[in-house]
Amino acid sequence: MPPVFRFAPSPNGHLHLGHAYSALLNFDRARETGGRLLLRIEDIDATRCRTEYETAIYEDLAWLGIAWETPVRRQSEHFGEYRAALDRLSALGLVYPAFESRAEIARLIAAREADGPWPRDPDGAPLYPGDARSLSAEERERLIVSGAPYALRLDMAAACGRPAGLTWNELGEGGDGERGIVPARPEAWGDVILARKEIPTSYHLSVVVDDALQGVSEIVRGHDLFYATAVHRLLQVLLGLPAPVYRHHPLIRDEAGRKLSKSSRSTGLRELRAAGVAPAAIRQLVGLG
């Protein structure tokens, strides 16, 4: 079977050179290997995603000379599939609702930090400090019926008790030069959010469900998602999904060495195109000349 690749942008802004690099790497890998290239629109967050950005993604990728298979999968059309996966994790007793607001979480962390540093995840965010896991079934029910907002969290300690020797095959490189068979440490992320009351899925859950449903065999994406792969591998094992191989690539940075943002004008593909830069020059700019 030919390998399957995907480029999976979120339509919450315009594409920049970093996206161009990732999309071109996927496109080139698919061409080199006789593989297929899929495009997936990661638009689960309706408050941040806009159809005009989605349209712009198609235009910018086509301008770069990238061709992808249709139909394009739009995550917002597949909430039922994510819900089914969530239900399977719930049936394993691995999901619980947590009702703290962001402000309450910040207060809890501040209180814990009075006794010393509170652990942070690989992205630098403090781990969930609450104890909603130990709420009684009646209390959960009462809060849900009262209409309180909540996040559905993975009980990481219970989930990690299941698969032994969790690893992935890294064809690219991690931040510390990790490659080959890499140990996955999902516990570093604490009780991650799998869904919210108002968005019945999350990045982690939908990416894992989609990669499996679409038969993606090699995931080519930025370094910033290297450590998140541990959570993805855990969910794949818990849900009985196949393990793709991963190729994390370095991020394109600005002159000051910062990660590019969707609002930085000097590196936006639209701005570069308007300034007369040709697609071949974009390849040169990201080092794929």
Residues in contact with ligand GLU by the rule CB under 6 A = 8-10, 42, 207, 221, 225
Beta carbon nearer to ligand GLU, 36 or 221: 221
| Least distance from ligand GLU to the Cβ atom of residue 27, Å | 14
Beta carbon nearer to ligand GLU, 9 or 268: 9
Beta carbon nearer to ligand GLU, 30 or 132: 30
Beta carbon nearer to ligand GLU, 192 or 207: 207
Question: What are the angstrom distances between the C-alpha of 78 and each of 26, 51, 107?
Answer: 24, 17, 35
Q: Backbone phi, then psi, for 203, in 5-degree steps?
A: -55, -50
| Least distance from ligand GLU to the Cβ atom of residue 91, Å | 26
| Least distance from ligand GLU to the Cβ atom of residue 207, Å | 5
| Least distance from ligand GLU to the Cβ atom of residue 142, Å | 36
Assign 3-class secondary structure to the chain.
CCCEEEECCCCCCCCEHHHHHHHHHHHHHHHHHCCEEEEEECCCCCCCCCHHHHHHHHHHHHHCCCCCCCCCEEHHHCHHHHHHHHHHHHHCCCEEEECCCHHHHHHHHHHHHCCCCCCECCCCCECCCCCHHHCCHHHHHHHHHCCCCCEEEECHHHHHCCCCCCEEEECCCCCCCCCEEEECCHHHHCCCEEEECCCCCCHHHHHHHHHHHCCCCEEEEEHHHCCHHHHHHHHHHHHCCCCCEEEEECCCECCCCCECCCCCHHHEHHHHHHCCCCHHHHHHHCCCC
Q: Backbone phi, then psi, for 101, in 5-degree steps?
A: -80, 170
| Least distance from ligand GLU to the Cβ atom of residue 109, Å | 25
| Least distance from ligand GLU to the Cβ atom of residue 13, Å | 10
Beta carbon nearer to ligand GLU, 159 or 231: 231
Using an 8 Å Cβ cutoff, are 203 and 128 in contact? no
| Least distance from ligand GLU to the Cβ atom of residue 219, Å | 7
Beta carbon nearer to ligand GLU, 98 or 228: 228
Beta carbon nearer to ligand GLU, 45 or 191: 45
Beta carbon nearer to ligand GLU, 25 or 98: 25
| Least distance from ligand GLU to the Cβ atom of residue 225, Å | 5
